[in-house]
Amino acid sequence: MTVENVTLNDPATGARASILPGFGFNCYEFIAKLDGRDVDVIWSVPDFVSGNERPSGSGIPLLFPFPGRLRGTTFQWEGRGYQVEAGDGRGNAIHGFVLNRPWRVIEQSESRVVGRFQASVDDPTILEQWPADFRVTATYELMGNRLASAFVFENPDDKALPCGFGTHPYFRLPLGGSSGDSCIVTVPATKHWELVDMLPTGGCTDLEKASAYQQGLRFGEMTFDDVFGGLVFGGDNCVCQIVDPESNARLAMRFDRSFRELVVYTPPHREAVCVEPYSCVPGTVGLDVPGVDFGLRVLQPGESFTSRVELEVS
């Protein structure tokens, strides 16, 4: 199929970013300029622009109204049952509804693009699978070697909207050097959520050797598909970094306090690392463990929340 493509450019530096509004508003390319050379930040499969590849496997998938896996494909909400399609190969629904559907571009300039997806407008079949309508507005803006993204989540319905949001970036390794294994990845967390069959149990423990995670792990020694909590913020931002010691390139991801968990995933191909800010623990909808706060948001009619993520290469 043919998928709409938008490329953002920064004339001063030559940096660029590309987004597919027709395939989940996925930002599948961000190339910064550092000392006259390209630094390719985002990993995606070669033919991702075709729109025929796995939507959660490349670029920066946007995950809403639930990031991660639900437990199975059914859940109860306010006395009614809902059925969601399975998608993870294990019989679980995964990663929401917006990552593979066409979005509408509502504003565009050389360095900025705004997209919108509303369930009732863009795919009304979602209303049969989720308790309420929702509207998501996403902005990408390129400023030199900084790619800023901002998100607004609204409940336009007359019913309560349970929801959570996550981004799922695939950061390419190495960042200009010859070895991804030597790159250092920081994980600014103090807690670790227990998973059984990739689903949370409600158990959350102190992260052993948390200081080592915060100072940085060597990618060659990382094998993860884990959920971390107790994130370390400085002011309004939490910062994760990837450093390539050979090229001296540094990628910083900053995100705001709308996020409270961090999923870290090392894909089997070992060409990227996923460091994913989530507003909640995966699988929170329909999951009830007494005394455990999984971070599920419930937006009442007319309510909204915002999120912000920035990527910067230096």
Residue-range domain boundaries for the chain: 6-174+268-313
In the predicted model, what is the mean pLDDT of residues 235-259?
Answer: 97
Q: How far is CA 47 from CA 77, 249, 298, in A?
A: 39, 27, 37
* Size of the chain, expressed as the number of residues it contains: 314
Q: Answer whether 268's CB lies under 8 Å from 197's CB.
A: no
Tell me the whole-structure pTM to 2 decimals: 0.97
Structure tokens at 293: 């706060």
Architecture in CATH of 6-174+268-313 = Distorted Sandwich (2.70)
pLDDT higher than 80, residue 52: yes
* 123 pLDDT higher than 90: yes
Q: What are phi and psi of 191, to 5 degrees?
A: -130, 160
Tell me the pLDDT tens digit for each residue of 66-105. 999 999 999 999 999 999 999 999 999 999 999 999 999 9
Q: State how far the Cα of 9 lies from the Cα of 42, in Å rounded to an integer.
A: 16
pLDDT of residue 1: 56
